């Protein structure tokens, strides 16, 4: 499998200290046999103190190409390592009903956002306007439409 700069991948070598970690390919230094990758801040403990870039060379046989960052990595990027204790995400694409989940909004949902509600990060499907208002925010509660609240 070939990798290009910007691809997201997961290390699948069970003997590696990077096993299961997601990374971003930043270069292909030695033909197609290995890739220069950069790991997230949560992997800093695996590197020497001077290696602040968190980069390593990993063989392409030991990388699995991912479509996007995992939900947990996206939450860490938005809220930091110690700012949430649980994560509730949707597994599939946007909800079929197509409605923005924000109370009082009648627009079509086009984006999925993450909101930190007192340490619990929850995903919601929203329109572009509500995304700008809520994505990556810490709040007491997200104003959820009654149609989405379990009775």
To the question of pTM greater than 0.85 for the whole model, the response is: no
Containing H/E element for 113? Answer: strand 111-117
What's the pLDDT tens digit per position in 27-72? 876 666 888 888 877 777 888 777 678 888 888 888 998 887 778 8
Tell me, what's the pLDDT at 72?
81
Q: Residue 124, class by beta-carbon neighbours within 10 Å (0-12 exposed, 13-18 middle, 19+ buried)?
A: buried
Contact between 42 and 14 under an 8 Å Cβ cutoff? The reply is no
What's the pLDDT tens digit per position in 89-119? 887 778 777 889 999 999 999 989 999 999 8
Which residues make up the CATH 2.30.30 domain(s) of the chain?
8-66
Considering the segment(s) 8-66 as one domain, its CATH architecture is Roll (2.30)
The CA-based dihedral angle spanning residues 90, 91, 97, 100, taken in that order and rounded to the nearest 10 degrees: 30
Q: Does residue 151 carry a pLDDT above 50?
A: no
């Amino acid at each position: 499998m070939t990798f290009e700069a910007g691809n997201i991948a997961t290390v699948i070598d069970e003997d590696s200290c990077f096993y299961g970690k997601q990374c971003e390919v930043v270069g292909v230094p030695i033909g197609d046999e290995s890739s220069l990758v950069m790991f997230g801040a949560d992997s800093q403990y695996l590197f020497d103190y001077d290696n602040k870039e968190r980069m390593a060379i990993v063989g392409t046989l030991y990388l699995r190409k991912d479509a996007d960052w995992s939900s947990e990595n996206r939450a860490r990027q938005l809220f930091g390592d110690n700012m949430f204790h649980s994560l509730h995400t949707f597994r599939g694409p946007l909800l079929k009903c197509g409605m923005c989940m924000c109370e009082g909004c009648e627009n079509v949902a086009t984006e999925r956002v993450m909101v930190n509600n007192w340490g619990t990060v929850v995903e919601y499907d929203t329109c572009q306007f509500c995304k700008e208002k809520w994505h990556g925010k810490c709040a007491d509660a997200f104003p959820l439409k009654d149609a989405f609240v379990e009775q």
